[in-house]
Structure 1
């Protein structure tokens, strides 16, 4: 639910950023604000506390982030505070970054292998996938020994399973069904 709401706020902020040709700078500002909140437990606790008035929260945010954030990001923070949605700021950043990446033609890809890939293998995989997908890739590489061998790709909402563990599970299912 909070993801849907966060997407709405991110979309509104993104549209303003597009109009003002400030997609990158607003993303940077929003990122700095969320990082500050993540790193400072006391600040985060005050902003999330239900007994601290919205006016005090907005004053605090304005004072702390007047140098870091522009009017658009400060207005977003004030709006989130007014609507008691301070807790979704990380989700807003994630959704905004995704929208910015789509505009830039960047695609997030998670690659999971049984053994670590060296830099040449990562580069080769990124280039080949990038050519096939026609996008610039931001690769996240994970190692999970239980996949035995092969590769597991997550591209957006899609999962491509080329692992031995996945093939074995498929064979097991076929045997159960009796194909």
Structure 2
């Protein structure tokens, strides 16, 4: 998903503020809590209702998210007032990317045809880490449609070692040949 310029600006400002206050992890946690709260359709619908005053929405935000820092409440209030509630997820992703970059980490998402055992995950994480020169935070998913092998997305890189893709490539190659 492409990053929106506004999400990057908000995340950059938040990250700078968090660094100055020594609260990088706190903000990461608060953004996660708010992002999870926004998975509730009713909450999002309420925040997007034009007939409800911002002050009422802010009261609900403060009461519904008491563990979140008041400055994070204000961020959500700004997004609500600009009709950009949906942008919080992109802000969180961009913020997380900045934290990972600062700490020398990279997110990797791997899809395999069968669940990966712990040893395989560890070796794969090590291999991908050597490939990109960073510590890898690995998440995995299973999708039987890839038949065998795996597909890994590391940052902006896509590594497709699935049997499905190899079979599709072979099919295209055979279809293009004339005998």
Structure 2 unmatched runs, 5+: none
TM-score, normalising length: structure 1: 0.83
**In the alignment, what sits opposite 1:55?**
55
**In the alignment, what sits opposite 1:134?**
133
CA 1:138/1:62 → structure 2, altered by over 3 Å: closer, same or farther? Answer: same
CA 1:52/1:2 → structure 2, altered by over 3 Å: closer, same or farther? Answer: farther
TM-score, normalising length: structure 2: 0.83
Which secondary structure does the structure 1 equivalent of 2:174 belong to?
Answer: helix
**In the alignment, what sits opposite 2:7?**
6
Residue pairs, 1:26-41, within 5 angstroms: 26-38=27-39
Deviation sequence 1:12-45 (CA, Å, 0-9, x none) = 2122212323211111122223333435x54433
* Distance of 1:23 and 1:115 partners within structure 2: 36
Q: Are 1:83 and 2:82 counterparts? A: yes
Deviation sequence 1:41-100 (CA, Å, 0-9, x none) = 5443322222111222123324444x4222431221221122122232223222222221
Q: Are 1:157 and 2:156 counterparts? A: yes
* Distance of 1:18 and 1:27 partners within structure 2: 11
**In the alignment, what sits opposite 1:45?**
45
Whether the 8 Å contact between 2:44 and 2:85 is mirrored in structure 1 is no
> What is the root-mean-square deviation of aligned Cα atoms in Å?
2.5
Structure 1 unmatched runs, 5+: none
Which secondary structure does the structure 2 equivalent of 1:38 belong to?
Answer: coil
**In the alignment, what sits opposite 1:19?**
20
* Distance of 2:43 and 2:167 partners within structure 1: 50
